[in-house]
Amino acid sequence: MSPIGLNHFLILSAALFVISLWGILAKRNGVAILMSIELMLNSVNIAMVAFSRYITPTVLTGQIFAIFIITIAAGEAAIGLAIILLIYRHRKTIDADEIDLMKW
């Protein structure tokens, strides 16, 4: 078997990214869309940590970036779920196709 290199991790990260992109575009449930966004941020983290391991192993820039991404993702999850609960309370649905008040 060939040794694992940077490209293996990058391709895995790209695959995770496009799977979650598919989820974001093709899902109705608002909570499921938020879950796909979390997966997307995770795939970016994989790429960041892989760059940190293979290109700048001593200064850890990629890992610091990944920590900031995780922090922002946690904030995003809290706000996003609060917005979804608010929409559910007002309209009794979280179907993204029916939340079209601002669509012209």
Question: Taking the complex as a whole, how short is the minimal distance between the CB of residue 49 and other proteins, in angstroms?
Answer: 5
- Answer yes or no whether residue 99 interacts with other proteins by CB under 8 A: no
- Answer yes or no whether residue 82 interacts with other proteins by CB under 8 A: yes
Please give the residues from 48 up to 77 whose contact with other proteins meets the rule CB under 8 A: 49-50, 52-60, 63-64, 66-68, 70-77
Return d(Cα 54, Cα 100) in angstroms, integer.
Answer: 45
C-beta of residue 24 within 8 angstroms of C-beta of residue 37: yes
C-beta of residue 94 within 8 angstroms of C-beta of residue 87: yes
Secondary structure (3-state) at 73: helix
Return d(Cα 87, Cα 46) in angstroms, integer.
Answer: 33
- Answer yes or no whether residue 44 interacts with other proteins by CB under 8 A: no
Please give the residues from 2 up to 41 whose contact with other proteins meets the rule CB under 8 A: 2-4, 6-12, 14-23, 25-29, 31-32, 34-36, 38-39
58 or 102: CB nearest other proteins: 58
